[in-house]
Structure formats: structure tokens, C-alpha cells
Amino acid sequence: GRALRRWVTRPLSNVAAIVERHGAVECLVASLGGVARGEDKDKGQGGDGDSDAGALARAVKATLKGLPDMERALMRVVHQTATPRELVSTLRTLLTATRRTRACPPTPRSPLLSRLISAAADDDVEMPVAAMLAELDEAAAQAGDKQNIFPATTALVRNCLLGKGLELLRVRFSNIQPGTYIRPHCGPTNRRWILHLGVDVPPPEEGELYLEVAGVRRRWQNGRCLVFDDSFTHEVYHGCTSDRLILHCDFVHPAVRRLESEQ
């Protein structure tokens, strides 16, 4: 729906691309027409090949049947507004759609549709999604328990804290995209320490990237930690060309924890 509207309302200046998209739309319309007319397999004309007017439409409808709006769900994940339950639902839906798409027939009348179907069914889509689902705890996600969604990661952090006198409040992965600027802000109290561990950080040659705390700038590095007091004003700027991924951990400030225990 939305993709089709964009094709129609935002025409391209590339003639070859316009012709290719028109061909894809004509193929879909013909296939849908074959289904609407109730044409039987091997008897239809003008659809996705002369032998089956509705083959493509039937396959696409079967693939999408019962699935939620994937575009909207993925945008919520990308913009980090999805709840844990929505994340699991989106991953499950993406995995189901990828596997179902493999059953879609080839579309000789539209190379563009062939490429889109092939891309949607590619192992590069399925394997990372399946790996993430294998790592997370779906029961914790359904309960909204963000700290234990990825139990292996949480356990690793907790093991590192044994004997250190630190109390873990929250652990999560944080990803920001190129062009992100998080304005100066600070926590409401001095009770929290924040730790950033670089997981996938763009190299310096990609551009400027920094965390600034109380006027001091530092750049994340893979496998290295940055620790700061949340009560100090801090900001983030990402001017590189690829995403920045870190492990973000919140701890109770050890000095505050000592005072609380003494009281």
C-alpha cells in the first residue's frame, strides 16, 4: 500500500526505473485481476506468465496473510520506540515472512519483483533474525523485563561485577544512526553511574563521533569502556557514515550505595 503510493506520488527522473516499476505494477494488477475473476490454475491469461494469471498474487496473499504491518514495526525498532514485546513480535513476523516468501513463484514479466522477492527470502535476512531470537528470553520480553531479555549478556555483566561492590540497575544495547545528535542533558540525581562498552564503533576516518561529559570529549572504541556520572551534563554526536553500537549499563553510584548502606 504505502510503497505503491510512493511509486505513484513520487515519480523518478530515471526513465529505466520508471518503466521497471510500471512493469512491476502491471504484473501485480494482472495477477490480482486473475484472482478476482476466479481464474483456475493453468487457464488464466495475462498474469504472472500465461499459465497462471493469479500465481504471484496468490503467493503474496498467502505470505502476508495474518502478518502485522512490517514497515511500521521495523520503523519502531529502528527508532528505538518498540517495546520488548513488539521487538519479539517483529522478529517472529520477519522470520515467518522470509520463510514464506521462498514459496513465491518466479516472475519473468517483472525483473524488479523477482529481485524484491529474492532479497526478502535471502539467508542474510533469516539468519541474523533467527540468531537474535535464539539469544533472547521471550518470556522476559513478554513481561517487559528489559534487563533479562538477553540473559547471556546480563549474566556476563553480573559476573564481571562479582566482588566489585557495584549494583547493576539496567543493561541494554544502544544503537544510534549517522546524523544523530543528543542534546546536553543529565540525570535528576547523582545516584547513577553509566558505562558504555564499544561493540561496533565506526573507525575515526568515517568522521566525528563523540560523547561529551562536563566539557570533556571522548570517542568510543571497540572493546573499551567509558564510565561517567549521570548527574554531569552530557551529549552525543554521530557524524560518521555507519551505525554506532554499544553495550549500555547503569549502576548505582558506589559512593551513594555506601552512604545508603551506612544509613
pLDDT in tens, 217-256: 999 999 999 999 999 999 999 999 999 999 999 989 888 7
**Has residue 113 been placed in a domain?**
yes
In this prediction, residues 66-73 reach a mean pLDDT of: 81
**Cα-Cα end-to-end distance for the chain:** 61
Tell which of 140, 168, 190 closes a domain: 140
Look up cell 521495523; give the residue: 74
CA 220, chain centre distance (Å): 22
pLDDT for residue 219: 97
Q: Are residues 235 and 135 in the same domain?
A: no
**Has residue 145 been placed in a domain?**
no
Pairwise CA distance, residues 42 & 155, whole Å: 57
pLDDT for residue 196: 95
pLDDT for residue 99: 84
Tell which of 111, 140, 169 closes a domain: 140
In this prediction, residues 54-72 reach a mean pLDDT of: 73
Is pLDDT at 12 greater than 90 in this prediction? no
Number of domains comprising the chain:
2
Q: Are residues 252 and 154 in the same domain?
A: yes
**Has residue 218 been placed in a domain?**
yes
Residue 114, domain extent: 2-140
Q: Are residues 95 and 181 in the same domain?
A: no
**Has residue 163 been placed in a domain?**
yes
Look up cell 502478518; give the residue: 67
Pick the most confident of 117-131, 146-160, 236-250. Answer: 236-250
**Has residue 251 been placed in a domain?**
yes
Count each helix (H run) and each strand (E run) in the chain, helices first: 10, 8
- Classify the C-alpha dihedral 205-211-213-215 as positive or negative: positive
In this prediction, residues 11-18 reach a mean pLDDT of: 75
**Has residue 234 been placed in a domain?**
yes
For residue 42, name the pLDDT band (cuts at 50, 70, 90).
Answer: very low
Q: Are residues 93 and 159 in the same domain?
A: no
Is pLDDT at 148 greater than 50 in this prediction? yes
For the chain, give the percent of residues with pLDDT over 90.
29
Angle between helices 123-135 and 84-101 (to 10 degrees): 140
**Has residue 56 been placed in a domain?**
yes
For residue 72, name the pLDDT band (cuts at 50, 70, 90).
Answer: confident
Q: Can you name the residues that pair with 250 across neighbouring β-strands?
A: 170, 194
Q: Are residues 132 and 172 in the same domain?
A: no
Q: Are residues 72 and 171 in the same domain?
A: no
pLDDT for residue 221: 96
Q: Are residues 28 and 83 in the same domain?
A: yes
Q: Are residues 160 and 47 in the same domain?
A: no
Mean predicted lDDT score pLDDT of the chain: 81
Q: Are residues 255 and 197 in the same domain?
A: yes
For residue 7, name the pLDDT band (cuts at 50, 70, 90).
Answer: low
Higher-confidence position of 261 and 103: 103
**Has residue 48 been placed in a domain?**
yes
pLDDT for residue 115: 84
pLDDT for residue 97: 83
Q: Are residues 62 and 118 in the same domain?
A: yes
Report the range of poorest mean pLDDT among 67-76, 154-163, 229-238.
Answer: 154-163
Convert the pLDDT of each residue in 79-114 to its tens digit: 878 888 898 988 998 888 888 887 777 666 778 878
pLDDT for residue 231: 94
For residue 49, name the pLDDT band (cuts at 50, 70, 90).
Answer: very low
CATH code for the domain in which residue 177 is found: 2.60.120.330
Higher-confidence position of 94 and 51: 94
Q: Are residues 135 and 154 in the same domain?
A: no
Tell which of 121, 140, 159 closes a domain: 140
Is pLDDT at 66 greater than 70 in this prediction? yes
Q: Are residues 184 and 114 in the same domain?
A: no
